[in-house]
Structures are given as C-alpha cells and as structure tokens.
Amino acid sequence: MAYFLQQLINGVTLGSVYGLIAIGYTMVYGIIGMINFAHGEIYMIGAFVAVIAFTLFAGFSFFAALLLVLVFAMLVSGFYGWTVERLAYRPLRHSFRLAPLISAIGMSIFLQNFVQLAQGARNKPIPPKVQGGFTLLNDGGFAVQISYLQIGIIVLTIMLMVGLNGVIHTTSLGRRQRACEQDKVMASLLGVDVDRTVSVTFVTGAVLAALAGVMVTLYYGVVDFFIGFHAGIKAFTAAVLGGIGSVHGAMLGGLLIGLIEAFWAGYFLTEWKDVAAFSILVMVLIFRPSGIFGHPEVEKI
C-alpha cells in the first residue's frame, strides 16, 4: 500500500506536467483544427531559459529568483509561440491541410537544432533549488514521501486549470475563442479578430508550456535539447486520450499518462512504460475514437 501511494504521488506530479503541455495542443486544435507539432520545442525552450535564468539570478533569494525565472521563461516562450503561429501557421491557414502540418514539423526540427547549436548537445544541469518535504506514511521501513516541489507542481497546476477555465468561460477572450472554435468565418463577420484570437491562443499555450518547463527543470535538475520531442509526443498522446479539443480532457489525459508511466515503471519494467502508455491509447481510440471527453466531429455539407 505504501509503495502504491508513493507511485501515485509520482504519477500525479508527472501527469500534471504532461497536462499543462497537452493544453497547448488541444487549445490550438480546438480553434484552428490543426496540431502544433512545434509545441514540444516551446516547452524545451522554456526549460533552457529556466536554466539560463537561474544561473543569471543565482545571487538572488530563491523566491525572487523563481519569480524572475517564471516571468523570463513565459516572455521568451510566449514570443516563440507567437512566432510559430505567425510564420508556420497564419500564411498557410487557408492552404490544404497538410501544408501547415509539414510547416510545423519543419519549425520543430529548426527549433531543436537551433537550441542544440546555441547551447550545445550536452545536458545542462542546475543545483537543487527546492529540498525537503513530508513523510506521509512509514510502512515496514518504506517511507512514503511528498516533496515540497511535488506539492508546488500539483497546486500550481490546479490553480492554472481553475484560472484557465475561468478565462475561457467568463472573459471576452474566452468568448472569442469559443466563437472561433465553432465557426471562424461567422465569428469574423460578427467583429471577432480571428488572427489576434489565434495568436493569443498560441501564446497562452506557450506560456503554459514554459511553466511546465520551469517545473521540470526544478524537478529533475537537468535538461537537454531533445526533451521537447519526448514530452511533446507524450503530451500530444494525452490530448488525444482525453479528447483533442477539450481542455479538461487534456489535463485528464496528462494525469492518466503520468499514472500509467509511474505504475508501470514501479511494478513492471521501466523500459516498457512508453509501450504501456501508447498501448492503452490505442485501446481507447479503438473503442472511443474521439477520446474520453471528445465529441465526434460533424462536418457541414
């Protein structure tokens, strides 16, 4: 029971990170019906910016440095998210559907190699910034622990989800986003600036990815230029599992992927945890192709 509880905590922590990244995929798909395959690299850039910023602000107190790192990472990643939309998507929005997909893959490869050339191929470590935690249970010498950092990641994720849900359902930006999701042409005729709404959505997803990058940097203490690909694939899987286009589904899918990985690595073979996650995805899509919270698309003719 103690080991199960420990893996549950680890899985929820990892799933929270996947969920934040998956929201960026699902928001973009919900509005323009396309997958931003460069989104994983935005998350990777946020992690690298966190390493650089923590180094620059090493003389500050931890909380002051963390606040500056978060602001710095969100600004830089938001700029990259806006650039990806402006260069890879907007010019091709009315082209055939494969064109922006190929453009996004090209942007992903470009950003990955750009960071590799700019920062080098070696791992970038940082010293531990947050230490300590609580012991929840001690069963036969096995201590179930939750660190302060894990608590912070879970609490921050919950706060962001509540805040994002409020933005989508109660603000004018959320109304514009929901209008563009239903019918971009009609929304434009009614005075909605579709281009600006799409850009803000890309920036919002990039900011959430940057926060995930900062949390992962603090949690693991090391980053490399390839983490965006792995996390991006997992987050995209989470978005599809939860129902692409659903914010709640993206977060639920992220939690499920994190739990599957944690429990499989804890009770079976660590090397097969990715196989387990994708196998469950395949089974869900066979029996419910639209995902858990997704709805079948109905095309108007």
Domain ranges of the chain: 2-287
> Residue 155 has what pLDDT?
92
CATH topology of domain 2-287: ABC transporter involved in vitamin B12 uptake, BtuC (1.10.3470)
244 contact partners, CB below 8 Å, separation of at least 6: 25, 26, 29, 30, 291, 294
> Residue 242 has what pLDDT?
86
132 contact partners, CB below 8 Å, separation of at least 6: 147, 148
> Residue 299 has what pLDDT?
52
Residue listed under structure tokens 């709805």: 295
CA 274 to each of CA 24, 257, 263, 293: distance values in angstroms, whole numbers, following the listed order: 21, 9, 12, 23
62 contact partners, CB below 8 Å, separation of at least 6: 129, 130
Chain-centroid distance of CA 258 in Å reads 12
Q: Are residues 294 and 246 in contact, defined by beta-carbon separation less than 8 angstroms?
A: yes
Dist CA 20 CA 73 (whole Å): 15
Closest CA to 44 of 76, 14, 4: 76
> Residue 77 has what pLDDT?
93
> Residue 269 has what pLDDT?
78
Q: Give average pLDDT by consecutive 10-residue segment, the chain, 301 residues.
A: 87 91 86 82 93 89 90 93 88 80 88 90 86 80 86 90 87 88 86 89 91 91 88 87 84 91 85 81 80 65 49
The token duo for 53 is 């910023």
Whole-prediction pTM value?
Answer: 0.89
> Residue 67 has what pLDDT?
92
Dist CA 168 CA 187 (whole Å): 16
> Residue 70 has what pLDDT?
93
289 contact partners, CB below 8 Å, separation of at least 6: 296
108 contact partners, CB below 8 Å, separation of at least 6: 37, 38, 40, 41, 228, 229, 232
